[in-house]
Chains A and B, each alone.
Chain A
Amino acid sequence: MSPKVLDYSGVAVIAPVTVPYERSSTRGADWFIGSALRKLIVEAGLQKQAIDGLSISSFTLAPDSPVSLVENLGLRLRWLEQVSVGGASGVVALRKAARAIQSGDAEIVACIGGDTANPQSFAHLVSNFSEFSNAAVYPYGAAGPNAPFSLITQHYMDVHGATRADFGQIAVSQRYNANYYPGALFGNKTLSINEYLDARKIAGPLHLYDCVMPCAGADGYLVTSVERAKALGLPFAELLAADERYNSFSEDAIQIKGGWCEFKDDLYDQAGIGPEAIDCLQTYDDYPVIVMHQLEGLGFCPLGEAARWVNSTALTFDGGGLPHNTNGGQLSVGQAGCGFLGVVETLRQILQRSGANQVANAKTGLVSGYGMVNYDRGLCSTAAILKRCA
């Protein structure tokens, strides 16, 4: 029997901020990350030097590293972390920062995911992502992540009978949500199911609206103690539960489920609630099929049933079903910052800080992450459950 995992009591998560996303930028990742830090201290009413811990996630910071940012941004820290698990980083940063607060290693940790983007940066990232990818994926058509995800999507369709229209339910509902979120890069465009189905072909079953657009931007939040959050007079969220897994189900010939299946029961046990108590859900939507893996792996529907479930459950922020990717998700907002978007959107929703896309009475949110296709599948699966305090 594995030892009992300590809970996250005493930890408060505050001050969700976003540096607006841009399709392309001539500024470096340091500008986006530093601007997120500035927003964080303004939002929390703190002096910069009150921040004594920093957690950074970025694909585009190199050749600089998090410690170079410490000097660059004039910080003095006693706790520093780089979280490099792609789209799983937002949740993993939260989990690690919470432990730093509980142990007393830091008092206020700024967690920031930020990236810059231009056409060259994406081509460079894709052509030199990992040893396995360079040798055994990239030479096969140089299609970037669309190649493995087209196979994962096709396999899911073959095995579970999902159709493109089922995936379209996810993309179209997220676009609806984005139409109420000013920060979404595609927020001023509507998307109908017919437009989704008629879109340009990209790879196998993947068409244009199945693919995220890499962009520049940053998201951040602060992790501190409940006492400190109360002293600041800020609304805060508690971390009820969180978990992470790597390289789960490596025996599967192709990815058809993720690591969430391995920890779902423990996650809800730790939180003391089940999926029915979740008021809003943010999944990592690099492709709609991975959303289906998360819906199944996190217990919102049985394995293999997500295609039917998304047709019987409203996913819009105001539809009365399960509000999902309530700002439009990466498919409609854009992809930057290593999976911080879902954490920050969860915090905005449950702290009642959202605008026109506010989910009525949202108090408890679940956010999941997924990341790093080193060869043919994503290796990281994470999730966290957050709840507004009082």
Chain B
Amino acid sequence: MMPSLLQQCTECQRYQYPQRHLCGHCLGDQLTDLAFCHPGILVAASDLHHSLEARFTQQLPWRIGTVKLDCGPTVLVHIKDLGIRSGMPVSVKNALQSDGSELLQASRQP
């Protein structure tokens, strides 16, 4: 699976996520891919108790969240640290999973 990347438009400097081929603001096609290492605020979180795939079933409940990044975009993330609450500042980073896939994970800001 491709790593999840944040994009920045070289023309208007805006950030966007999920990835796409054109800037959602100025429609320019010169986009720079950036690994995630960005601060934001956790807007909402919930625990999944049901999954359509067996690889998740053993890990349930599995917490997801919505993070509003300070640089603009909203990202869906996995949350391991169950102490994180809505409204708290968090950092979003790419995290390697045990099956080799990569997901965005929110953790407390250091």
Given known A140-B77, A143-B50, A202-B49, contact A135–B62 (CB-CB < 8 A):
no
User: Can you list, as one digit per residue, whether each of B4-43 has a CB less than 8 Å from chain A (1) or not (0)?
Assistant: 1000000000000111100000000000000000000001
Residue A302 interfacial (CB < 8 Å):
no
Q: Are A254 and B50 in contact (CB under 8 A)?
A: no
Q: Are A135 and B19 in contact (CB under 8 A)?
A: yes
User: Can you list, as one digit per residue, whether each of B48-68 has a CB less than 8 Å from chain A (1) or not (0)?
Assistant: 111111011000001011101
Of the candidates B4, B17, B48, B66, the one whose C-beta lies within 8 Å of that of A203 is B48
Residue B2 interfacial (CB < 8 Å):
yes
User: Can you list, as one digit per residue, whether each of A134-145 has a CB less than 8 Å from chain B (1) or not (0)?
Assistant: 011101111110
Q: Are B51 and A143 in contact (CB under 8 A)?
A: yes
User: Among A80-88, A150-158, A173-181, A349-357, which stretch is in contact with chain B?
Assistant: A150-158
User: Can you list, as one digit per residue, whether each of A175-218 has a CB less than 8 Å from chain B (1) or not (0)?
Assistant: 00000000000000000000000001111111000000000000
Closest residue of chain A to B40 (Cβ to Cβ) is: A253
**Which one of A132, A139, A375 has the greatest number of beta carbons of chain B within 10 Å?**
A139
Q: What is the CA–CA distance of A146 and B18 in the complex, to the nearest angstrom?
A: 19
Q: Are A142 and B53 in contact (CB under 8 A)?
A: yes
A95-153 residues with Cβ-Cβ distance < 8 A to B are 123, 126-127, 131-132, 135-137, 139-144, 146-148, 150-153
Q: Are B50 and A203 in contact (CB under 8 A)?
A: yes
Q: What is the CA–CA distance of A251 and B75 in the complex, to the nearest angstrom?
A: 13
Q: What is the CA–CA distance of A141 and B75 in the complex, to the nearest angstrom?
A: 15
Given known A140-B76, A143-B52, A253-B68, contact A135–B18 (CB-CB < 8 A):
yes
Residue B46 interfacial (CB < 8 Å):
yes
Chain A positions within 8 Å of B76 at CB level = 136-137, 140, 147-148, 151, 375-376
Q: In angstroms, how far is the closest chain A Cβ from the Cβ of B42? A: 10
Residue B94 interfacial (CB < 8 Å):
no
Given known A136-B75, A253-B68, contact A147–B44 (CB-CB < 8 A):
no
Given known A136-B4, A136-B18, A140-B77, contact A254–B46 (CB-CB < 8 A):
no
Residue B84 interfacial (CB < 8 Å):
no
Q: In angstroms, how far is the closest chain B Cβ from the Cβ of A119? A: 10
Number of interface residues of A (CB under 8 A): 35
B49-107 residues with Cβ-Cβ distance < 8 A to A are 49-53, 55-56, 62, 64-66, 68, 74-78, 86, 101, 103
Of the candidates A135, A143, A158, A200, the one whose C-beta lies within 8 Å of that of B48 is A143
Closest residue of chain A to B18 (Cβ to Cβ) is: A136
Q: What is the CA–CA distance of A201 and B45 in the complex, to the nearest angstrom?
A: 15
Of the candidates A142, A151, A201, A253, the one whose C-beta lies within 8 Å of that of B52 is A142
Q: Are B43 and A253 in contact (CB under 8 A)?
A: yes
Q: Are B49 and A155 in contact (CB under 8 A)?
A: no
Of the candidates B49, B53, B64, B68, the one whose C-beta lies within 8 Å of that of A201 is B49
Chain B positions within 8 Å of A147 at CB level = 46, 48, 64, 76
Q: In angstroms, how far is the closest chain B Cβ from the Cβ of A69? A: 30
Q: What is the CA–CA distance of A261 and B13 in the complex, to the nearest angstrom?
A: 31
Q: What is the CA–CA distance of A269 and B53 in the complex, to the nearest angstrom?
A: 48
Chain B positions within 8 Å of A143 at CB level = 48, 50-52, 56
Q: What is the CA–CA distance of A123 and B53 in the complex, to the nearest angstrom?
A: 9
Q: Are A376 and B56 in contact (CB under 8 A)?
A: no
Q: In angstroms, how far is the closest chain A Cβ from the Cβ of B90? A: 13
Chain B positions within 8 Å of A254 at CB level = 43-44, 66, 68, 74
Q: Are B1 and A146 in contact (CB under 8 A)?
A: no
Of the candidates A126, A144, A154, the one whose C-beta lies within 8 Å of that of B46 is A154
Chain A positions within 8 Å of B45 at CB level = 151, 154, 204
Listed A/B pairs (12) with beta-carbon separation below 8 Å: A143-B50, A147-B64, A147-B76, A151-B46, A153-B46, A203-B46, A204-B48, A205-B46, A253-B68, A253-B74, A254-B66, A376-B66
